[in-house]
């Protein structure tokens, strides 16, 4: 019985639940903007039809693709030696031997098959572009740390994370809900996208020495810790300021300012990064940015929908 519990805990841990706000937050924001746009305006009878099945399908697909990416990352980094005994972050399942590589490969396939279901549903209901988005997401999840030239090992991880967990996810969820692509949700997607990059960059800053040793040339390895610290701080500022700019310049509802207030949650993380903390001490900073990502997604979504 204890072994079964330990196994379940290991699989849950391998999904990296503290990071799943990267897929949840942008989908929530895209759905909230779509819901508000579906409401009658000035007594007009013709409005978009909002059906919760479609944004929920987009969220399910995004979350499953992120889990697949996390599983693939666990498997491939272990094979390349990036998660060795000197690892400073949480213990990884494959590298520690808790989950075998064979079982992780099976899990990746099963999760990708599950992710294909909402993708096909949206493709049939909203357009073929959702099938292509699903294919792109699946390939990117595998190539992030897998294949002969992994994205993360080439320093392209930050760009991938920003696009997929930022504008693409918010605009895609909006399009799933209402059947059209618009700029407003894509712009608001910069907020969760920036925070997702701050989370990734903090992880890479913590692991800079270990990544350099195994040839994992993240932006932190390529350009150094000073660049990475500035990148993290810039992402935090962008995520805090964009709701204000959207309210002042783009007629966003005032409730989006709630997203700015969530920046206070990660002030301790920002201070850790700014004062030069290194190594395992940055695990606390990661927790702060992860929490801010969850809370900002909820705050912007509720603020947009209810004001």
Q: What is the pLDDT of residue 2?
A: 40
The vertex-264 CA angle with 258 and 270, nearest 5°, equals: 135
Cα–Cα dist 195/203, whole Å: 12
The CA-atom distances, in angstroms, between 289 and each of 43, 210, 233, 271 are 42, 22, 11, 12
Q: What is the pLDDT of residue 4?
A: 44
**Residue bearing the bigger pLDDT, 77 or 289:** 289
Whether 277 contacts 5, CB under 8 Å: no
Cα–Cα dist 175/108, whole Å: 27
Q: What is the pLDDT of residue 79?
A: 85
Residue 46, domain member (yes or no): no
DSSP 3-state assignment of 14? helix
pLDDT band at 43 (very low <50, low <70, confident <90, very high): very low
| Domains in the chain, number | 1
Residue 289, domain member (yes or no): yes
Residue 122, domain member (yes or no): yes
Residue 73, domain member (yes or no): yes
Residue 43, domain member (yes or no): no
Cα–Cα dist 100/158, whole Å: 28
CA torsion angle for 132, 135, 136, 141 (degrees, to 10)?
160
Residue 2, domain member (yes or no): no
Residue 20, φ and ψ in degrees, nearest 5: -70, -10
Q: What is the pLDDT of residue 185?
A: 94
Q: What is the pLDDT of residue 151?
A: 87
Cα–Cα dist 87/143, whole Å: 22
pLDDT one-digit tens code per residue, 121-180: 999 999 999 999 999 999 999 998 888 888 888 999 999 999 999 999 999 999 999 989
The CA-atom distances, in angstroms, between 283 and each of 20, 278, 291 are 16, 9, 13
pLDDT one-digit tens code per residue, 215-260: 889 999 999 999 999 999 999 999 999 999 999 988 899 999 999 9
Q: Which domain holds residue 83?
A: 10-35+51-306
pTM above threshold 0.95 = no
Q: 5 pLDDT exceeds 80?
A: no
Residue 144, domain member (yes or no): yes
Range 271-282 average pLDDT: 93
Cα–Cα dist 238/191, whole Å: 7
* Residue (of 172, 132, 234, 159) closest to 26 by Cα position: 172
Average pLDDT of the chain? 90
Residue 227, domain member (yes or no): yes
């Amino acid at each position: 019985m204890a072994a079964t519990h330990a196994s379940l805990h290991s699989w849950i841990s391998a999904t990296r639940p503290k990071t799943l706000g990267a897929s949840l937050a942008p989908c929530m924001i895209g759905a909230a903007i779509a819901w508000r746009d579906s409401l009658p305006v000035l007594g007009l009878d013709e409005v978009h039809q909002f059906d919760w099945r479609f944004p929920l399908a987009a969220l399910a697909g995004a979350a499953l693709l992120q889990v697949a990416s996390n599983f693939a990352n666990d498997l491939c980094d272990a094979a390349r030696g990036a998660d060795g005994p000197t690892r400073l972050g949480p213990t990884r399942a494959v590298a520690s031997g808790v989950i075998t590589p064979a079982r992780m490969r099976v899990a990746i396939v099963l999760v990708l098959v599950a992710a294909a279901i909402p993708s096909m549903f949206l493709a049939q209901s909203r357009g073929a572009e959702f099938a292509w988005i699903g294919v792109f997401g699946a390939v990117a999840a595998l190539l992030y740390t897998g294949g002969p030239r992994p994205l993360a090992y080439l320093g392209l991880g930050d760009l991938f994370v920003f696009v997929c967990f930022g504008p693409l996810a918010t605009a895609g969820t909006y399009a799933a809900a209402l059947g059209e692509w618009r700029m407003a949700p894509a712009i608001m997607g910069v907020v969760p996208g920036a925070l997702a990059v701050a989370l990734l960059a903090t992880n890479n800053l913590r692991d800079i020495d270990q990544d350099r040793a195994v040839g994992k040339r993240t932006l932190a390895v390529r350009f150094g810790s000073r660049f990475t610290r500035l990148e993290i701080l810039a992402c935090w500022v962008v995520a805090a300021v964009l709701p204000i700019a959207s309210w002042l310049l783009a007629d966003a509802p005032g409730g989006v300012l709630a997203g700015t207030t969530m920046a206070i949650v990660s002030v301790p993380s920002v201070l850790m990064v700014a004062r030069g903390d290194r190594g395992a001490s940055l695990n606390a900073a990661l927790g702060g940015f992860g929490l801010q990502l969850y809370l900002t997604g909820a705050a912007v979504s509720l603020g947009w929908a209810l004001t």
